[in-house]
Structures are given as structure tokens and as C-alpha cells.
């Protein structure tokens, strides 16, 4: 084959130039796609990265701890409140009423009983309005529930007071049932001293009428 003439040379150069332009365009397009990560599958790699960043376990781990804090709130639970001391309460008499046995009302044993002196009738012989026991719960006590156990069916009223007196005392509740009676302390009622006040008393085995108190227990916020 002889050398190309001028026209053939120009045609060959045009073809080569065209191919180079096409190759350049393809190369630029390829680089653009590599940067976007479409053709190389980078989009599929970015998805796991997103899942790891937004950990789906983060929210569930927070919810149980909040629930636990709510269910174990200290304000929801009551505890036994200790009774510091007790004494017979006879403000209309000689202020003595079988004092030696009054410790039995908070010894934790319902088989031990404090009894008042004997009277001629259920209304304490008509010589006084009532008789009872007063217990010291401590100045910081917050009673919420009171359990009273008596072996007989005498009638009593429970009060809370800031003083060793029924004057100004707030009523908690009443009962005439034998056995254990649970009284809820009304909202807004509180006091350091708990008074169990008998106004009608049952007949004892000796024929006399006596108040009889086996146990007093108090629950509340310590």
C-alpha cells in the first residue's frame, strides 16, 4: 500500500480525534459515577453504616429503666412505724388505768392484753366519758394506716393529735368489732400521738366491764 494522500490523512486524523473525544467523554462520565458511588455498589455499603449509626436498640434500653423507676417509687410503699412509748389515758379520772400492763399493746403479741379497771356498766359506770391508751409515734411520723386489735367488742375511736390530749385531736375512725380492724388515715390528718379512746366497754369474765386492747400497729412514711 502506498502512502496516504492528503485527503486520506485528514480523514484518518479526524477518525482518531473522534475516537479520543469519545474515550475522553466516557472517562469523564465514569469518574463522575465513581464519585457518586452508583456503579461501584457504594450505595449498598452506605445503608449498613446508617443502621449502625442509628442503633435500633437505643430506644428499648431506655424504656425499661423509666418503668423500673416508676414501679419502685419509695412514696408508693408503706412501712411499719415504731411506737416509742405508751401510757394509759384517763383524763377524767386519776390518770392511771392499769399502767403496768400498757406495754402489751405494742409488743407484737396479740395474746397479751391491756385492760382498764373494772366498771359497773358498759358506759363506764356513768362516771366518765371514756378511757383509753395514748401512744407516742415520734414527732416525724407520717401515719397512713392503723391496725387495732381487741379481744372483745368494745366501742372505741382512734384519734391523732400533736398533744397528749383529745383537745384539738383529729378523728381517724371508729369500731365496735372484736379482732383486728384496719383504719385508713384520712388525707390531711396527722399527729405525733395516737389515742385509742373507749366509750362503751364489754363485760369481762369477772362480771365487770372493761376496755381491753391487745395490739396497735401503725404503717406510714418513715
In the numeric block, the cell 398533744 is attached to: 163
Separation between Cα atoms, residue 148 and residue 191, nearest integer Å: 17
Contact residues for 201 (Cβ-Cβ < 8 A; gap 6+): 116, 119, 122, 124, 131, 152, 154, 155, 209, 210, 211, 212
Domain limits, the chain: 6-54, 79-221
Question: Does 167 score more than 80 pLDDT?
Answer: yes
So what's the pLDDT on residue 25?
79
- Taking the CB of residue 137, how many other CB atoms lie within 10 A of it? 22
pLDDT digits (tens, 9 = 90+) for 169-191: 999 999 999 999 999 999 999 99
Domain 79-221 has CATH 2.60.120.260: yes
| Comparison of pLDDT for 200 and 13, the residue scoring more | 200
Separation between Cα atoms, residue 207 and residue 222, nearest integer Å: 42
So what's the pLDDT on residue 189?
96
pLDDT digits (tens, 9 = 90+) for 95-154: 889 999 999 999 999 999 999 999 999 999 999 999 999 999 999 999 999 999 999 999
pLDDT digits (tens, 9 = 90+) for 44-95: 444 444 444 444 444 444 443 333 333 333 445 899 999 999 999 999 998 8
So what's the pLDDT on residue 48?
43
What cell was used for 171?
A: 378523728
What cell was used for 73?
A: 417509687
Separation between Cα atoms, residue 201 and residue 116, nearest integer Å: 9
Q: Specify the 3-state DSSP secondary structure of 113.
A: coil
So what's the pLDDT on residue 59?
45
What cell was used for 97?
A: 388505768
The predicted model scores a pTM of: 0.66
Question: Does 21 score more than 90 pLDDT?
Answer: no
* CA-based nearest residue to 134, from 182, 178, 83: 83
Q: Give the up-direction half-sphere exposure of residue 116: CA atoms within 13 A in the CB hemisphere.
A: 34
Separation between Cα atoms, residue 64 and residue 203, nearest integer Å: 58
Residue 40, phi then psi, degrees to nearest 5: -95, 5
pLDDT digits (tens, 9 = 90+) for 27-57: 776 666 655 544 444 444 444 444 444 444 4
Amino acid at each position: 500500500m502506498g502512502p496516504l494522500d492528503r485527503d486520506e490523512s485528514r480523514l484518518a486524523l479526524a477518525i482518531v480525534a473522534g475516537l479520543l473525544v469519545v474515550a475522553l467523554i466516557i472517562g469523564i462520565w465514569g469518574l463522575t459515577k465513581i464519585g457518586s458511588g452508583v456503579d461501584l455498589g457504594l450505595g449498598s455499603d452506605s445503608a449498613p453504616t446508617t443502621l449502625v449509626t442509628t442503633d435500633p436498640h437505643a430506644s428499648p434500653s431506655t424504656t425499661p429503666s423509666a418503668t423500673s423507676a416508676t414501679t419502685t417509687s419509695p412514696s408508693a410503699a408503706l412501712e411499719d412505724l415504731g411506737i416509742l412509748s405508751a401510757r394509759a389515758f384517763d383524763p377524767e379520772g386519776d390518770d392511771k388505768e392499769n399502767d403496768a400492763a400498757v406495754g402489751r399493746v405494742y409488743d407484737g403479741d396479740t395474746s397479751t392484753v391491756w385492760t382498764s379497771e373494772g366498771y359497773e356498766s358498759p358506759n363506764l359506770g356513768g362516771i366518765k366519758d371514756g378511757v383509753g391508751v395514748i401512744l407516742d409515734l415520734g414527732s416525724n411520723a407520717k401515719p397512713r394506716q392503723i391496725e387495732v386489735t381487741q379481744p372483745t367488742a368494745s366501742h372505741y375511736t382512734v384519734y391523732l393529735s400533736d398533744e397528749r390530749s383529745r383537745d384539738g385531736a383529729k378523728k381517724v375512725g371508729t369500731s365496735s368489732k372484736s379482732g383486728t380492724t384496719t383504719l385508713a388515715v384520712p388525707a390531711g390528718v396527722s399527729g405525733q400521738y395516737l389515742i385509742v379512746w373507749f366509750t362503751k366497754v364489754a363485760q369481762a369474765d369477772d362480771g365487770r366491764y372493761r376496755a381491753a386492747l391487745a395490739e396497735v400497729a401503725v404503717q406510714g412514711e418513715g
